[in-house]
Amino acid sequence: MVALIFPGQGSQYAGMGKELAENFPVAKQVFEEADDALQFKISTLCFQGPEEDLKLTANTQPAILTTSVAALRVLESELHLTPAYLAGHSLGEYSALVASGALAFADAVKTVRSRGIFMQEAVPVGTGSMAAILGLDGKDLEDVCREAAQGDVVAPANFNSPGQVVIAGHVQAVDRAITLAKEKGAKKAMPLPVSAPFHCSLMIPAGLRLKEVLDDVKVSAMKMPVVSNVEALPNQDYAQIKDLLVRQVSAPVRWDESVLKMVDLGVDRFVEVGPGKVLSGLARRIAKGIPVGNLEDTVSLKNLQANF
């Protein structure tokens, strides 16, 4: 039983998707559709960069979504894998929803462009930050965040894998949490080079703006369930999708639970679809011994064809 997993922000790199677009018409078509929907050449940004522009949240989100869907179309045409479940990390949940048939790609790419803008604008630059904490479990880290808050916001944002949690909030509170985490035995506690504090309560205004955009987006019946970040449970009720996506902006990403839930439901292989191998690495740490593949270029496609 296979699950497809889709990467989120941080997996981008200049050149992503270029080889797929050059070799597979179905991938090229996805990039052309994104260019038309966004009315600018997101394809050029994916293929050539520059990295500085690709890192801007409003660009990163549609760029990763487009590359992931291009890779998905190649997988569908070349491998004919039928996944039992789909899931995506943060932004990647939109790729999963496109794969499920719930969202049309053009609607999804325009929505995540707006989502990126809203998340960037929710907090003034320099006000918020995020940090990766390694070596503390979730409960200990929640205690650290409560102690560090002191009237500010700081909370777990991404439960990525056992012992790897990302926190987000006001700069001063995140800094205090880093210090406290080290005192309580964290192996590493380090700020991340991000432009805003994603997946914490500071993002609630972004979620409200996103709701207005989603109100005009058509959602269709789902061909297979998507495990949501918010609940870490499979959802195949398309009527719940918009609410889950709004809540996702300011709620923590429960990725480790999501992967374990799919394993509990019988998944015995994961394929990461899109740029990079971040989720492949996390899956190997969360579900040890379960085969993991990825598809981002022709080499990884050949590996999948040989091993899956």
pLDDT tens digit sequence for 228-247 = 999 999 999 999 999 999 99
Same domain, 91 and 206: yes
Same domain, 114 and 220: yes
Which segment of 34-48, 120-134, 203-217, 245-259 scores lowest on mean pLDDT?
Answer: 120-134
C-alpha count within 13 angstroms, C-beta hemisphere, residue 47: 15
Higher-pLDDT residue of 126 and 113 is: 113
pLDDT band per the 50, 70, 90 thresholds, residue 253: very high
Position 264 scores a pLDDT of 97
pLDDT at 171 over 90: yes
Which of 68, 199, 228, 258 does the annotation list as catalytic? 199
Domain boundary, last residue among 194, 211, 227: 194
Position 15 scores a pLDDT of 97
Domain boundary, last residue among 150, 170, 194: 194
CA distance 164 to 110: 31
Position 47 scores a pLDDT of 98
Residue 176 belongs to domain spanning: 128-194
Position 273 scores a pLDDT of 98
pLDDT at 160 over 90: yes
pLDDT at 86 over 90: yes
Same domain, 96 and 216: yes
Higher-pLDDT residue of 307 and 259 is: 259
| CATH label of the domain that carries residue 231 | 3.40.366.10
* CB 98, CB 47: distance < 8 Å: no
pLDDT band per the 50, 70, 90 thresholds, residue 194: confident
Same domain, 24 and 74: yes
Same domain, 146 and 89: no
Q: What global pTM score does this model have?
A: 0.96
In the residue annotation, 199 being an active-site residue is answered as yes
Same domain, 163 and 300: no
Calculate Rg over the CA atoms of the chain: 18
Which segment of 92-106, 126-140, 173-187 scores lowest on mean pLDDT?
Answer: 126-140
Q: Quick one: how far is CA 304 from the chain centroid?
A: 22
Same domain, 8 and 22: yes
CA distance 63 to 295: 16
**Rounded to 5°, angle at Cα 155 from 192 and 200:** 80
**Residue from 99, 93, 30 nearest 61 by CA:** 93
Position 195 scores a pLDDT of 78
pLDDT at 137 over 90: no
Same domain, 171 and 206: no
Position 81 scores a pLDDT of 86
Which of 90, 129, 161, 195 does the annotation list as catalytic? 90
pLDDT at 144 over 90: yes
Same domain, 38 and 63: yes
List C-alpha distances in Å: 256 to 164, 178, 217, 259.
Answer: 9, 22, 29, 5
Position 101 scores a pLDDT of 98
Position 262 scores a pLDDT of 98
Average pLDDT over residues 206-222: 97
Position 193 scores a pLDDT of 81
What is the share, in percent, of the chain residues with pLDDT greater than 90? Answer: 92
Position 239 scores a pLDDT of 96
Average pLDDT over residues 24-29: 98
pLDDT at 126 over 90: no
In the residue annotation, 258 being an active-site residue is answered as no
Q: Considering its fold, how many domains does the chain have in total?
A: 2
Position 308 scores a pLDDT of 78
